[in-house]
């Protein structure tokens, strides 16, 4: 389907605690969809991975604006739940939960995702989830598909993901990828082969009424972004097409986590133009929680503005 019919109103964001501050769950309406954004966990990235070709001095200066330093770039992992009529749709599944620390890129990490706990808090039963959309196969997005004891966490769900993502990670093309990535995929994705699996084909595909996948490859070969649209409201979920607002403002600053920088840049431009044209509300997985904002343009440069809450 085409993208032009989408028009925008600003969804209203409601905080769900008496104090008005909740750092783990944010609720909003997108037309008829009830939307919850969950903070699965907080992570810390390093500039040497996040910004591999930025001038060091310029980067240190630019990061100050975002409360970061080259040694400490705070970043959440998130998941989104959409509810409408009898559908409960989960977008990405968090890092999952592991008792023991996991070593990645030379450092030891505690991966104790809170998504399942937070779903419980909101009285959402994982067996009632009807659809799970996986935007790409990195650990922070797929880790919650199976439990630590290898049980499928969403037994009734249909699982949507791009066929190119499946193909890449299940072929020798991905043999040079970190062992940790392969481990997470074996544990959480490969076993879905005999389950209710929908491998997406094509560039723009409506998965569920009101939820359209838009190809956003480069970060990985089959990454998708999502447009959630209902009535006159819409939300663009950009997953990891941008890992930091500075990747919007300095479109040529590359990250180690992108597999193909040229394709990643083209996807970035496509999503920025899409969001800017309709002044869409945008949700970014790795930006300050809940990662909501809008795209503007100033003297030829794209600008990210966090949505006031």
Looking at the Cβ atoms of 138 and 250, the one nearer to Zn ion is 138
Beta-ladder partners of 213: 205, 226
- Token pair 């880790």: residue: 143
Candidates 93-101, 115-123, 232-240, 293-301; binding stretch for Zn ion (CB under 5 A): 232-240
Angle at CA of residue 127, ends 125 and 128, nearest 5°: 70
Exactly one of 40, 92, 240, 258 binds Zn ion (CB under 5 A); that residue is 240
Min dist. Cβ of residue 107 to Zn ion (A): 17
Min dist. Cβ of residue 49 to Zn ion (A): 12
- As a whole number of angstroms, the distance between CA 216 and CA 267 comes to 5
Candidates 7-15, 100-108, 134-142, 272-280; binding stretch for Zn ion (CB under 5 A): 134-142
Candidates 88-96, 131-139, 176-184, 201-209; binding stretch for Zn ion (CB under 5 A): 131-139
CB-count burial class (<10 Å; 0-12, 13-18, 19+) for 20: exposed
- Asked if 40 touches Zn ion (CB under 5 A), the answer is no
Min dist. Cβ of residue 219 to Zn ion (A): 8
Site size for Zn ion (CB under 5 A): 3
> What DSSP string runs through 159-226?
EEEEHHHHHHHTSGGGTTS-HHHHHHHHHHTGGGGGSSEEEE-SSEEEEETTEEEEE-TTSSTT-EEE
Looking at the Cβ atoms of 92 and 164, the one nearer to Zn ion is 92
> What DSSP string runs through 115-136?
HHHHHHHTT--GGG--EEE-S-
Looking at the Cβ atoms of 84 and 141, the one nearer to Zn ion is 141
Candidates 112-120, 157-165, 219-227, 234-242; binding stretch for Zn ion (CB under 5 A): 234-242
- Asked if 92 touches Zn ion (CB under 5 A), the answer is no
Looking at the Cβ atoms of 220 and 230, the one nearer to Zn ion is 220
Candidates 11-19, 117-125, 240-248, 264-272; binding stretch for Zn ion (CB under 5 A): 240-248
- Return all residues near 165 (Cβ < 8 A) that are at least 6 apart: 134, 136, 137, 220, 221, 222, 223
Looking at the Cβ atoms of 79 and 157, the one nearer to Zn ion is 79
- As a whole number of angstroms, the distance between CA 235 and CA 228 comes to 5
- Asked if 24 touches Zn ion (CB under 5 A), the answer is no
Preceding peptide of 290 cis, ω within 30°: yes
Residues 137-176 contacting Zn ion, CB under 5 A: 138, 140
Q: Name the nearest CA neighbour of 81 among 22, 23, 122, 111.
A: 122
Looking at the Cβ atoms of 140 and 258, the one nearer to Zn ion is 140
Looking at the Cβ atoms of 165 and 240, the one nearer to Zn ion is 240
In the complex, which residues of this chain contact Zn ion (CB under 5 A)?
138, 140, 240
């Amino acid at each position: 389907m085409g993208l032009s019919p989408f028009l925008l109103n600003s969804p209203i964001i409601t905080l769900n605690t008496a104090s008005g501050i909740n750092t783990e769950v944010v609720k909003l309406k997108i037309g008829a969809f009830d939307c919850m954004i969950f903070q699965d966990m907080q992570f810390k990235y390093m500039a040497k991975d996040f910004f591999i070709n930025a001038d060091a001095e310029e980067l240190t200066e630019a990061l100050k604006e975002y409360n970061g330093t080259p040694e400490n770039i705070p970043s959440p992992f998130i998941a989104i739940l959409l509810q409408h009529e009898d559908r409960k749709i989960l977008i990405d599944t968090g890092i999952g939960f592991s008792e023991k620390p996991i070593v990645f890129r030379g450092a030891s990490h505690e991966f104790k995702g809170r998504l399942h706990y937070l779903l419980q808090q909101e009285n959402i039963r994982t067996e009632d989830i009807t659809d799970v959309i996986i935007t790409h196969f990195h650990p922070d997005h797929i880790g919650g598909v199976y439990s630590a004891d290898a049980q499928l966490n969403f037994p009734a769900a249909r699982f949507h993901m791009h066929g190119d993502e499946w193909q890449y990670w299940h072929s020798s093309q991905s043999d040079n990828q970190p062992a940790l990535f392969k481990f997470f995929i074996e544990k959480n994705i490969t076993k879905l082969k005999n389950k209710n699996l929908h491998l997406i084909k094509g560039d723009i595909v409506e998965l569920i009424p009101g939820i359209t996948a838009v190809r956003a490859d480069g970060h990985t070969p089959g990454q998708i972004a999502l447009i959630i649209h209902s009535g006159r409201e819409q939300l663009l979920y950009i997953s990891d097409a941008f890992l930091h607002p500075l990747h919007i403002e300095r479109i040529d600053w590359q990250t180690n986590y992108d597999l193909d920088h040229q394709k990643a840049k083209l996807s970035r431009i496509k999503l920025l133009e899409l969001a800017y044209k309709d002044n869409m509300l945008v949700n970014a997985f790795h930006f300050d929680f809940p990662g909501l904002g809008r795209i503007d343009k100033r003297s030829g440069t794209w600008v990210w503005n966090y949505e006031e809450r």
